[in-house]
Amino acid sequence: MSNRKIGPWTVQSDDTAFENPWIKIVDHKVIHPDGSDGEYGVVQFKNLAIGILAFDEDGMVPLIGQHRFALDRYSWELPEGGGRLDIAPLQSAKRELAEETGFRAQSWAPLCAFDVSNSVTDERAQCFFAWDLEAGDAAPESSEALTMKTVSFKVLLDLVMTGEITDSLTVAMTLTAYVKALRGAAPVPICEHILAA
């Protein structure tokens, strides 16, 4: 492979160190901007991270609890998961919300998009507001052991601010939603639920 540029770096070679259905780890031999030899290991994600901040008619928010293998600890999070790159993110969000909570939302709006951990991964997140919920039966993947509870947005915000919730998508969605509501930049029903909390 011939050298190629990534910003100020020159990539001399790429080698796949590991690959499974969800990620690929690529070892890049590079020349740094200062001319020295270097190496970058990048985790390339095969799915988009999807997150949903949903509100029921009473302004309550569903949270999903599960034990996270990588951290070996229990985590409360807003509904989230992976969306195939060849499928519209909103379609994946609708599927994730229904799978994890049983809820189907009649109304959707973009909430935020961000890079999850841009020093070592290329993972992107796309997150949505959802409201006008209809209840149904959850159908998580058989490999998942999930618990659901609902909390007010005020409780959610407190859990994020005290550090009891540390999941990056949940933190980003909660704080972005709060600021958008304060600025009147969220859909009116969302602003009403958040500011009433």
Do 23 and 71 reside in the same domain of the chain?
no
CATH code for the domain in which residue 152 is found: 3.90.79.10
| 25 in the same domain as 114 | no
Asked if residue 41 and residue 52 are part of one domain, the reply reads no
DSSP-assigned letters across all residues of 17-47: EEE-SSEEEEEEEEE-TTS-EEEEEEEEESE
> What are 84-101's pLDDT values in tens digits?
999 999 999 999 999 999
142 shares its domain with 162: yes
Q: Are residues 79 and 98 in the same domain?
A: yes
pLDDT band at residue 197 under the 50/70/90 scheme? low
184 and 93 part of one domain:
yes
* 75, 128: one domain: yes
The residue segments making up the domain with residue 15 are: 4-45
Nearest C-alpha neighbor of 67 from the set 54, 56, 80, 76: 76
Model confidence pLDDT, tens digit, residues 18-47: 999 999 999 999 999 999 999 999 999 999
- Angstrom distance (rounded) from CA 4 to CA 138: 47
Residue 2 has pLDDT above 80, yes or no: no
Q: Is the pTM of this model over 0.75?
A: yes
pLDDT of 119-153, one tens digit each?
A: 999 999 999 999 999 999 888 777 778 999 999 99
Question: How many other C-beta atoms lie within 10 A of the C-beta of residue 148?
Answer: 16
The CA distance from 79 to 96, in Å, is 7
Give the per-residue pLDDT at 138.
Answer: 87
Q: Evaluate whether 123 touches 112 at the Cβ level (below 8 Å).
A: no
